[in-house]
Copies of this chain bind each other. A is one copy, B any other.
Amino acid sequence: MILTVTPNVALDVTYRVDRLVPGAAHRVREVAERAGGKGVNVARILHALGHDTVALGFVGDAAAAAVADDLDRAGLAHRLIPVAGPTRRSVTVVAGDGEATMFSEPGPPVPAPSWRALEALLAGSLPEAAALVVSGSLPPGADDDACARLVRLAAAHRVPVLVDAVGAALLGAAEAGADVVKPNASELVATTGRADVAAAAEALRRRGARAVVASRGAAGMTAFTPEGCWHAAPPARLVGNPTGSGDAAAAALVAGAVAGAPWPDRLRDAVALSAAAVLQPTAGSVDLAQARRLRPQVVVEDHHGAGLDR
């Protein structure tokens, strides 16, 4: 079973409009709602890949029932901790031409006792877990060590951890010895203050992260690992909704880690699944048949331990 932690679960709301015109009033033709947040999306894709998952995290209690109902309908096991306040929404406005414009609410702050409750829940679940994924933004006011504490807890249970986070949470996860951190290239460079992706990845590995996978959007992703350095790229530039493609990559990477797959294979799967996610209109959805078709077309290059940008 793979655990996911979503520190700031959202209700993902999708609006369909004909065209988005700033300054205008729009009648929304169609409204769709479902449980979201990056860790929830990772669980959704892992579930589609055939893995048992349990989604942990915090959810603002105002619409916590709607979130739980949606997860139940999707067959996703969850143990979310309600916190007082509005349920964070993430509104995506999709125009007729497919253009997606997203508005993410900050979500409610999570009090210290709720963090302790999450840690207790996680400690109770880790003995059954094959891996842990911590993914998504932290709630407002979370302390810098919050993510690192979850990583240390998993390490104490010898459960491999993948972290998709930014800023202080990313640095903390690296220092706590996360097995994989998966920032996008620009966040990675911004967080470490290094000149290029390879130097930034090296800095995170020196802090304690075992492997760093830097995603580069349509250019694919680069893995910096103890076994070597590889870059994988999709066959062609794909047009679609990039929201959720990083979550598909995270799901593939953790599934590969659980299976003990070699890094080039993990990376190939991550790029194929991520590309298939771009072609789907809603975040957290992947057409697995499409991912299988794309897989052989992914180009994996061995950088022989050298960073791509050196």
Contact = CB atoms under 8 A, between A and B. Distances in A.
B28 A106 contact: yes
A69 B189 CA distance: 46
A25 interface: yes
A25 B243 contact: yes
Interface stretch (A93-101, A157-165, A292-300): A93-101
A304 to B, nearest CB: 35
A28 B103 contact: yes
A156 B66 CA distance: 43
Interface in A18-50: 20-29, 31, 33
A63 interface: yes
Interface string A248-284: 0000000000000000000000000000000000000
B103 A26 contact: yes
Nearest to A102: B25
A102 B26 contact: yes
Contacts of A239: none
A91 to B, nearest CB: 6
A66 B66 CA distance: 15
A86 B27 CA distance: 16
B99 A26 contact: no
A99 B27 contact: no
A238 interface: no
A111 to B, nearest CB: 19
Contacts of A20: 22, 101
A28 B104 contact: yes
A104 B27 contact: yes
A101 B26 contact: yes
A100 B21 CA distance: 10
A17 interface: yes
Contacts of A63: 62-63
A103 B66 contact: no
A95 B22 contact: yes
Interface string A226-242: 00000000000000000
Contacts of A29: 106
Nearest to A33: B86
A115 interface: no
A93 B104 CA distance: 12
A105 interface: yes
A186 to B, nearest CB: 13
A16 to B, nearest CB: 10
A102 B17 CA distance: 11
5 contacts: A15-B105, A24-B101, A24-B102, A28-B103, A93-B103
The 7 closest A-B pairs by CB, nearest first: A25-B102, A20-B22, A23-B99, A26-B103, A28-B105, A31-B105, A22-B101
